[in-house]
Structure 1
Amino acid sequence: MKRFSLLFSAIICLWLNVASALAAPAAPAPGPKDKCPVCGMFVHKYPAWTAAIRFSDGSHAWFDGAKDLFIYLNNLPRYAPTRKPAMISAMLVKDYYSLKLIDGKTAFYVIGSTVYGPMGHELVPLAKQTEAQEFLKDHGGKRIVRFHEITPALLKSLE
């Protein structure tokens, strides 16, 4: 019975590792010539803040932070007139603590903190609500917002 229990535990651990690897967003890396379409900065210079939109054709738009990703997303006709929202297959932002790319739609964003990104005030992405609350407290943040709350007016307030 003990062997069966150990074998079962090992199989469950393996299955969970495979499942989490499959669920995690792909980890693209911008090249040295990739520029943010919003501000024109070279994205690779800011690896801790990198964000990306992946399109259904496999191409990416790279950003030097989540704020510029949302500015782009909220004005797609200006920044990418040939693209439509339906062509977006993923939105990825860097988790502040782990520096891993996470799904931008499920992230928690802290605004108004003392931590600045490459373009100044930034939406600081975190994967977990508890970490966002901790960050908010530790870095003087004003509030935590979710994907659906990030509006052009909110982005303007970060300028």
Structure 2
Amino acid sequence: MKFAQLKSLPLLLMFALLLVGCSGEAEKVVEKPAPVHIESGDECHVCGMAITRFPGPKGEVITEKEQTVHKFCSTRDMFAWVLQPENVMRKHTLYVHDMSQTEWASPDDTALIDAREAVYVIGSERKGAMGQTMASFSTEAAAHDFMKEYGGEMLRYDAITLEHLNTEMPMGDMHGDMHSDMHGEMKH
């Protein structure tokens, strides 16, 4: 009987290793890819313009399955691509510049943040590539400071629609009553 038990031991060990291997796969946490630096020769995935020749925040999308990097000359162009019906439900990794951490004229790629967690100011006086753009910030406080100087309306990622991209947003003055109205409209 001991021989039969020893004979089945390797089989039991293999089965145990297989179970551990399977459970390890199920528990594996998928890390999001790191942002990719925007180089001087890179062109916008939407309009083909040289990305680094223009001011304002830029964007990039890393596709989930292929891990292909699409770079954009502005946050507006990035949203124009992301909000297309064939892209809107996908779980791509998205990055934008935190404009509270970098210069408007030439954003530094060390200031790239998760676009889904950013706060956006749309309709400000500041222009990017293609004119009107959305200033991106890591905090509401930074977005409010920007709006005090340049106007605009604050929106969260999930609140931005194609309509915001297709129309010029009214210039907002964030003093007085408008501040409380805006804050109440924000999605969290």
Q: Could you state the TM-score of these two structures normalised by the residue count of structure 1? A: 0.71
Q: Trace 1:7-156 onto structure 2 (pairs within 5 A).
A: 26-46=34-54, 49-56=57-64, 57-75=66-84, 77=86, 85-86=89-90, 88=92, 90-99=93-102, 100-141=111-152, 143-156=153-166
Q: Would you say how many aligned residue pairs link Structure 1 and Structure 2?
A: 130
Distance 1:42 1:76 in 2: 26
Distance 1:24 1:131 in 2: 25
Equivalent residue number for residue 4 of structure 1: none
The one-letter amino acid paired with 1:29 is H
Distance 1:50 1:146 in 2: 17
Secondary structure of the 1:144 match is strand
Q: Cα distance, 1:24 vs. partner?
A: 9.5
Secondary structure of the 1:30 match is coil
The one-letter amino acid paired with 2:133 is E
Distance 2:43 2:62 in 1: 15
Equivalent residue number for residue 157 of structure 1: 167
Q: Could you state the TM-score of these two structures normalised by the residue count of structure 2? A: 0.61
Identity of aligned residues (%): 27
Runs ≥4 residues deviating over 6 A: none
Deviates more, 1:122-131 or 1:47-56: 47-56
Cα deviation, 1:98-152, whole Å, max 9, x if unaligned, reads 13001110111001111111111111001100010111111122x1001111101
Unaligned 5+ segments in structure 1 are 1-22, 78-82
Larger radius of gyration: 2
CA-atom RMSD in angstroms: 2.5
- Specify whether residues 146 and 157 from structure 1 end up closer, same or farther in structure 2 by C-alpha distance, changes over 3 A only: same
The one-letter amino acid paired with 1:132 is A
Distance 1:46 1:54 in 2: 22
Equivalent pair of 1:25/1:92 in contact (CA under 8 Å): no
Equivalent pair of 2:95/2:114 in contact (CA under 8 Å): yes
